[in-house]
Amino acid sequence: MLGLNGLGKILIFFGLVLAVLGVLLLLLPKIPWLGRLPGDVIFRKGNLTIYFPWVTCLLVSIFLTLLLALFRK
């Protein structure tokens, strides 16, 4: 069972995660190439648009993997 000390650490951790996500949501629209890389798939037909940024997802995944690998050591 978690004591108050453990619960406090968990709440601080999730608060920091939410703060980082908030900052990212504010900054991501200011990166003009993010989401519009060559290889990102866009299908348009009439009023329907299907967009899948798979190259952007791949680059973000590689970046996060490298970042987390640095913090593990």
- Same domain as 73, residue 46: yes
**What is the total count of domains within the chain?**
2
pLDDT tens for residues 46-64? 999 998 889 989 998 999 8
pLDDT tens for residues 17-36? 999 989 988 987 787 777 78
- Same domain as 70, residue 46: yes
CA separation for the pair 57, 51 (Å, rounded): 12
Q: Is the pLDDT of residue 5 over 70?
A: yes
Nearest by Cα to 56 from 42, 69, 43: 42
- CA angle, 6 as apex, 64 and 66 as ends, to 5°? 10
- Same domain as 12, residue 24: yes
- Residue with token string 């798979």: 54
- Same domain as 39, residue 26: no
- Same domain as 69, residue 42: yes
- Same domain as 38, residue 15: no
- Same domain as 43, residue 22: no
Q: pTM, whole model, 2 decimals?
A: 0.56
Task: Please give the pLDDT value at position 46.
Answer: 94
The number of helix segments (H) and strand segments (E) in the chain equals 2, 2
Containing structural domain, residue 42: 33-73
Task: Please give the pLDDT value at position 37.
Answer: 85
